[in-house]
């Protein structure tokens, strides 16, 4: 009597499932970091609100409320036309809610420009140093080490005092000046001061990215796929820009997210000391500076820019932690 073989049902569900893309894996890991997600939402709301400042702000940036006899005035003050100053008015009678929105636009734009330029420049130099080695690596590494020995804050203060106080400007094409003026919602003369401040902060901001990319490039340049690319006749530029930098970009992204908070604090410190962006262009730093003369009679006044400054600077640190966890290949999916 012959037995009938039963059909074997294989569980091929794992084979049928579509493999997740790397972006989806990173996004799923990032979502597990709750503080990073909350920080990203808060910073996005603040940044979008700053971009829409001309639309949602109840007053003009430099408009003065002449009807108020108390200056500074506390939050909830109502003017003669029935309009509410949600965060109060400053010592000149300007609406603080409006100025906080415009200050967020200026402060966050400075941070984004500084980080974008410095991380790009640092990644490029680091890739050159790590890929070529030899005299190129020695020269770039010695420059980095020399600049790291320089005390950053005193040099920033000296450069700011020399360049910003003497109205030194960087010659830029007219369309660039107009673009910066429109982006910052400030006159071109004030936008030029912002350009100088960006230049000063970039001067020391590229060192971390260069060191990170140099280490990645040293490791990647010894990999088999790079040797195969060289054997097939690929140019050095193609290997660096198409393979070395993209494969070593993960630590640069983490460093950039952490650097955003640091740049905002540095800009606020310079503006607070009167060596950064000057009034009437608002930043969180110069708003803190003007509030210090009235903070004992009006203790709420420094909290208006200070709360936003703390939220954004700490938020970028949390986002950096979340990105570090999401981009770490040693973590399980």
Domains of the chain with CATH codes: 22-327 (1.10.3720.10)
pLDDT per position as a tens digit, 140-184: 999 999 999 988 888 888 888 777 766 666 777 778 878 888 888
The CA distance from 329 to 283, in Å, is: 39
For residue 332, pLDDT over 50 is answered with yes
pLDDT recorded at residue 167: 65
Both structure tokens of 281: 């262009």
pLDDT recorded at residue 273: 87
For residue 11, pLDDT over 60 is answered with no
pLDDT recorded at residue 14: 42
pLDDT recorded at residue 165: 67
Contact, 266 vs 201, CB < 8 A?
yes
Q: Which of left, alpha, beta for 3 (phi over 0: left; psi -120 to 50: alpha)?
A: beta
The CA distance from 182 to 7, in Å, is: 71
Confidence of residue 20 (pLDDT cuts 50, 70, 90): low
Q: Which of left, alpha, beta for 161 (phi over 0: left; psi -120 to 50: alpha)?
A: alpha
The CA distance from 29 to 326, in Å, is: 5
For residue 46, pLDDT over 90 is answered with yes
pLDDT recorded at residue 187: 81
The neighbouring-strand residues paired with 89 are 73, 95
Find the range with the poorest average confidence among 47-51, 62-66, 127-131, 165-169. 165-169
Confidence of residue 331 (pLDDT cuts 50, 70, 90): low
Overall average pLDDT of the 194-202 stretch: 88
> Which residue, 250, 244, 212, is CA-closest to 230?
244
Tokens 């097939």 correspond to what residue? 232
pLDDT recorded at residue 169: 67
pLDDT per position as a tens digit, 219-234: 998 899 999 998 999 8
For residue 217, pLDDT over 90 is answered with yes
For residue 48, pLDDT over 60 is answered with yes
Confidence of residue 333 (pLDDT cuts 50, 70, 90): low
Of the two residues 278 and 266, the one the predictor is more confident about is 266
Overall average pLDDT of the 284-310 stretch: 91
For residue 65, pLDDT over 80 is answered with yes
Find the range with the poorest average confidence among 81-85, 248-252, 284-288. 81-85
Both structure tokens of 90: 């400053």
Q: Percent of the chain scored above 70 by pLDDT?
A: 91
The CA distance from 34 to 44, in Å, is: 15
Both structure tokens of 307: 């709360």
Overall average pLDDT of the 112-126 stretch: 95
SS3 readout for the chain: CCCCCCCCCCCCHHHHCCCCCHHHHHHHHHHCCHHHHHHHHHHHHHHHHHHCHHHHCCCCCCCECCCCCCCCECCCEECCCCCEECCCECCCCEEHHHHHHHHHHHHHHHHHHHHHHHHHHHHHHHHHHHHHCHHHHHHHHHHHHHHHCCCHHHHHHHHHHHHCCCCCCCCCCHHHHHHHHHHHCCCHHHHHHHHHHHHHHHHHHCHHHHHHHHHHHHHHCCCHHHHHHHHCCCCHHHHHHHHHHHHCHHHHHHHHHHHHHHHHHHHHHHHHCCCCCCCCCCCHHHHHHHHCCCCCCCCCCCHHHHHHHHHHHHHHHHHHHHHHHHHCCCCCC
Contact, 250 vs 227, CB < 8 A?
no
pLDDT recorded at residue 131: 94
pLDDT recorded at residue 330: 64
């Amino acid at each position: 009597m012959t037995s009938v073989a039963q059909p074997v049902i294989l569980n091929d569900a794992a084979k049928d499932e579509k493999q997740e893309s790397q972006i989806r894996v990173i996004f799923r890991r990032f979502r597990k970091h709750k503080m990073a997600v909350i920080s990203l939402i808060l910073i996005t709301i603040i940044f979008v609100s700053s971009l829409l400042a001309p639309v949602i702000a109840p007053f003009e940036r430099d408009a003065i409320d002449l009807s108020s006899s108390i200056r500074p005035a506390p939050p909830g003050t109502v003017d003669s036309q029935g309009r509410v100053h949600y965060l109060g008015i400053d010592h000149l009678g300007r609406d603080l809610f409006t100025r906080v929105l415009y200050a967020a636009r200026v402060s966050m734009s400075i941070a984004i420009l500084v980080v974008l330029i410095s991380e790009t420049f640092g990644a490029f130099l680091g890739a050159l140093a790590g890929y070529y080695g030899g005299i190129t690596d020695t020269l770039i590494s010695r420059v980095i080490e020399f600049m790291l020995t320089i005390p950053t804050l005193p040099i920033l203060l000296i450069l700011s005092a020399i360049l910003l106080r003497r109205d030194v400007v960087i010659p830029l094409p007219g369309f660039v000046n107009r673009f910066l003026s429109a982006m910052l919602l400030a006159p071109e003369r004030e936008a030029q001061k912002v350009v100088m401040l960006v230049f000063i902060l970039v001067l020391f901001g590229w060192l971390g990215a260069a060191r990170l990319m140099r280490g990645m490039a040293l490791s990647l340049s010894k990999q088999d796929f790079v040797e195969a690319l060289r054997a097939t006749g690929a140019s050095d530029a193609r290997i660096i820009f198409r393979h070395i930098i993209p494969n070593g970009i993960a630590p640069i992204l983490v460093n950039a997210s952490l650097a955003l908070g640091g740049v905002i604090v540095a800009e606020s410190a310079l503006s607070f000391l009167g060596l950064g962006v000057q009034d009437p262009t608002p930043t969180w730093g110069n708003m803190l500076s003007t509030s210090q003369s009235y903070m004992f009679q009006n203790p709420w006044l420094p909290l208006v820019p200070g709360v936003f400054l703390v939220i954004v600077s700490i938020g970028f640190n949390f986002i950096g932690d979340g990105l570090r966890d999401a981009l770490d290949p040693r973590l399980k999916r």
